[in-house]
Amino acid sequence: MNFDLPEELQDIRRLARDFAVSEVLPTVDADDKAHRFRRDLVEKMGELGFLGCVIPEEYGGNGLGYLALAILAEEIARVHSSLRIIFAANTLGPAITIWRHGSEELKQKYLPGLTSGKLLGCFAMTEPNAGSDVASMKARAVLEGDYYILNGSKMWISLAPVADIALVYAYTDPSQRAKGMSAFIVDMKSEGITVEAITEKLGNWSSPVGTITFENCKVPKENLLGREGQGFAICMQQLDNTRLASAAGAVGVAQACLDAAIEYANTREQFGQPIGKFQMIQDMIAQMCVDIEAARLLTYRAAFLKDKGVPNTLETSMAKLFASEAANKCADYALRIYSAYGYSEEYPVARFFRDAKYYQIVEGTSNIHKLIISQDALGYRKANRSS
């Protein structure tokens, strides 16, 4: 078992870190406070190949794989969690799903734009009364001639206010429950679509989120992904991928908390010495170090298994759960170390604290991942059964 990253992946980490520090960091606080989404930065990420890791070269990607994507997502989140969301909402949402289940026409039409950042995608799964219970969604798509007529509402959709296309899940046969769900690619400029931004949220202020309402929206039947009734299976497969990006993002936020805590502990003095000399501060630093290393290894293992094509639902859930909890623990400890200064917006710790909570909620809450892991251990429902 080799834990060393190949030179190529080490180069990718350096490239991502250099980009994040030189291009993102200088304006991160101003962008965050202005709730400003930086599409120009997304396009620069596309130019550098960041958005094409899991897409083959023939469609504009580079095929570097999931581990490369995890490293990129970690380094971007280490500077700005909001920008990291592009890896889940765009790359591991519509892009890879089109590549796996779309027609050749859809691949040629959308993948080069999604991998370059010229097009932005989102995925629309969650509804007002359908969150963790995906199968309880109400959105309907009825085939009429050459079009599906789509009706329904989606909520908490990352990048919805700025997306060009959406991966949308809806029922084509509600009587079949999960087996009656289908997946579609929808042009967000189509008639019958209304998007409303959700601006009042706790964290990730620079990542736009919104509700999408479909009212008799016509979707060409060619935009169906896979076959009718495959939507739930496609959705679960997609979540396995987007959860990796969330785990990597959580590792990045946790690392940012540790970086800030170490710098502050070595410069802030009380009682005639740096506060890093006090054992209670050292205790928190030590716990942060161990949790981050464990979270990173769990995340990289999940990515490694994905690159090998090995079933990994269980390992991905473990990574997502542990990394999310580690990010929140590290954010809490960093704020304690900063004390009153951490509670203000003068230092970035307040932003880390706000952004970290997001990771316990998206792509399956921490409780959902506990269910997946525990039911696998107990033998009630094997997580990797259908891979």
Express as a percent the part of the chain with pLDDT over 70. Answer: 99
Q: What is the pLDDT of residue 280?
A: 97
Per-residue pLDDT reduced to its tens digit, 185-217 = 999 999 999 999 999 999 999 999 999 999 999
Beta strands in the chain, from DSSP E residues, in sequence order: 121-124, 140-144, 147-158, 165-171, 181-187, 193-197, 209-220, 224-225, 269-270, 273-274
Q: Which backbone phi and psi does 83 adopt, to 5 degrees?
A: -75, -30
Could you give the domains of the chain? 7-120 (1.10.540.10), 122-230 (2.40.110.10), 232-378 (1.20.140.10)
Task: Choose the catalytic residue: 23, 228, 325, 363.
Answer: 363
User: Residues in the chain, how many?
Assistant: 387
The pLDDT assigned to 386 comes to 53
State the Cα–Cα distance between residues 68 and 87, nearest whole angstrom.
11
Write out residues in the chain with pLDDT < 70, as ranges: 386-387
Q: Are 20 and 78 in contact (CB under 8 A)?
A: yes
Measured CA to CA in angstroms, residue 123 lies from 93, 166, 210, 274, 296 at distances of 6, 5, 11, 47, 26
pTM to 2 decimal places: 0.96
233 closest CA partner among 189, 274, 176, 164: 176
Alpha-carbon distance of 330 to 296, in angstroms, equals: 14
Residue environment code for 34-53, b if the CB has 16+ CB neighbours within 10 A, otherwise e: eeebbeebbeebbebbbbbb
Cβ atoms within 10 Å of 121's Cβ, excluding its own: 24
Does 363 participate in catalysis according to the annotation? yes
Residue 49 has a pLDDT of 97
Q: Are 83 and 206 in contact (CB under 8 A)?
A: yes
Cα distances (Å, whole numbers) of residue 133 to 50, 177, 242: 32, 12, 17
Burial of residue 89 (CB within 10 Å: 0-12, 13-18, 19+) is buried
Q: What is the DSSP letter of 348?
A: T
